[in-house]
């Protein structure tokens, strides 16, 4: 039991992969390294798959790409409205990143989203997007007015939400991935074969995709709320 506990604690650490020896050393954590690999893979895949796009008679790969882009566009349009298209590429990028980050456990990599700092960074960018949207599309005054809507009494709650929203986004993603990771590690320690493979379908693929959808959907929902015409 002690041994399991020790191993689990070791697995939950976020070790530094290496340190860039400039400016007194910039540490690069394992999560960031894995992210780089995933980004490289995503970019390569996107580059290879979009080389021969055709307007008429699209191929199978193109149909999948079109399906994905239209899914993101539609999601943004229905939740954000007229300005949805401006946010679609970013939210699509975030969706791709979270999805591959959650599922890269299948490839034997440690999911970057298991690191609280990664999910925190994701949540921070979302919050910048959510509160920046009103400033961008409703002007400086409109940007501040979002804190006194729908009624000025809600001002304190609206201000608290600036912290609560990213915290909940961050913790939800982190908690789910961490829990899945812990459960998977425990199962792997107890039953090394077959069962982890079956469970990983649920924890890595299903839960990973669900959390991706939840994160992106909530971000879009909050942006739509901020841009809503009062």
Partner 1 sequence: MLDIDPYTILWTVVNLLVLYLLMRKFLFGPVNAILDGRAKAIEDGLTQARQQQEEAQQLHSQYEAEIAQSKDEASQIIAQAKAQSEALYQRTLADAQAEAKKLLEENQERNLRDRENMLRSVRQEVAQLAVVAAEKVAVDSNQAIDSFLQEAGDQK
Q: Any contact of residue 14 with partner 1 (CB under 8 A)?
A: yes
Residue 62 is a binding residue for partner 1 (CB under 8 A)? yes
3 state SS of 57: coil
Quick one: which of 6, 7, 27, 107 contacts partner 1 (CB under 8 A)? 27
**Residue 49 or 106 having the CB closest to partner 1:** 49
Judged by beta carbon, residue 85 or residue 144, the one nearer partner 1 is 85
CA of residue 218 relative to chain centroid, distance: 11
Q: What is the largest CA-CA distance in the chain?
A: 62
Q: Does 86 bind partner 1 (CB under 8 A)?
A: no
- Rounded to whole angstroms, how far apart are CA atoms 191 and 109? 20
4: contact with partner 1 by CB under 8 A = no
Question: How many residues belong to the site for partner 1 (CB under 8 A)?
Answer: 49
Question: CB of residue 229 vs partner 1: minimum separation in angstroms?
Answer: 26
Residue with tokens 């669900």: 210
DSSP, residue by residue, 93-161: HHHHHHHHHHHGGGGTPPPGGGSHHHHHHHHHHHHHHHHHHHHHHHHHHHHHHGGG-S-GGGHHHHHHH
Site for partner 1 in 103-162 (CB under 8 A): 112, 115-118, 120-122, 124-125
Gap between the Cα atoms of 10 and 32, Å rounded? 18
Q: Does position 7 bind partner 1 by CB under 8 A? A: no
Tokens coding 71: 């899914």
Task: Closer to partner 1 by CB, 17 or 154: give it.
Answer: 17
32 binds partner 1 (CB under 8 A): yes
Is residue 223 within 8 A of residue 130, CB to CB? The reply is yes
Task: Find how far residue 190's CA is from the centre of its chain.
Answer: 30
Structure tokens at 184: 């998977």
**Which one of the spans 55-63, 74-82, 146-154, 194-202 is the region binding partner 1 (CB under 8 A)?**
55-63
Smallest separation, CB 102 to partner 1 (Å): 14
Residues 1, 5, 23, 47: which binds partner 1 (CB under 8 A)? 47
Q: Is 61 in the site for partner 1 (CB under 8 A)?
A: no
Six-digit token string for 59: 């191929």
Binding interface with partner 1 (CB under 8 A): 9, 12-14, 26-29, 31-32, 35-36, 39, 42-43, 46-47, 49-50, 53-56, 58, 62, 65-66, 69-70, 72-73, 88-90, 92-94, 96-97, 112, 115-118, 120-122, 124-125
């Amino acid at each position: 039991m002690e041994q399991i506990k020790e191993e689990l604690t070791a697995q939950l650490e976020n070790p530094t992969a290496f340190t860039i020896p400039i400016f007194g050393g910039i540490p690069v954590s394992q999560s960031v390294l894995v992210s780089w690999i995933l980004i490289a893979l995503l970019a390569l895949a996107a580059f290879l798959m979009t080389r021969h796009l055709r307007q008429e008679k699209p191929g199978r790969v193109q149909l999948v790409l079109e399906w994905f882009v239209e899914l993101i566009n539609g999601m943004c349009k229905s939740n954000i409205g007229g300005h949805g298209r401006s946010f679609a590429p970013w939210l699509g990028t975030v969706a791709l990143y979270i999805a591959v980050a959650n599922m890269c456990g299948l490839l034997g990599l440690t999911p970057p989203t298991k690191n609280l700092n990664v999910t925190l960074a994701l949540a921070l960018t979302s919050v910048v997007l959510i509160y920046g949207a009103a400033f961008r599309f409703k002007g400086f005054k409109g940007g501040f007015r979002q804190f006194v809507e729908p009624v000025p009494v809600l001002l304190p709650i609206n201000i608290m939400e600036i912290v609560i929203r990213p915290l909940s986004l961050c913790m939800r993603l982190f908690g789910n991935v961490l829990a899945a990771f812990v459960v998977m590690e425990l199962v792997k320690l107890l039953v090394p074969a077959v069962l982890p493979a079956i469970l990983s379908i649920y924890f890595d693929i299903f839960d990973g995709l669900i959390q991706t959808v939840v994160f992106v959907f909530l971000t879009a929902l909050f942006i739509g709320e901020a841009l809503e015409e009062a």
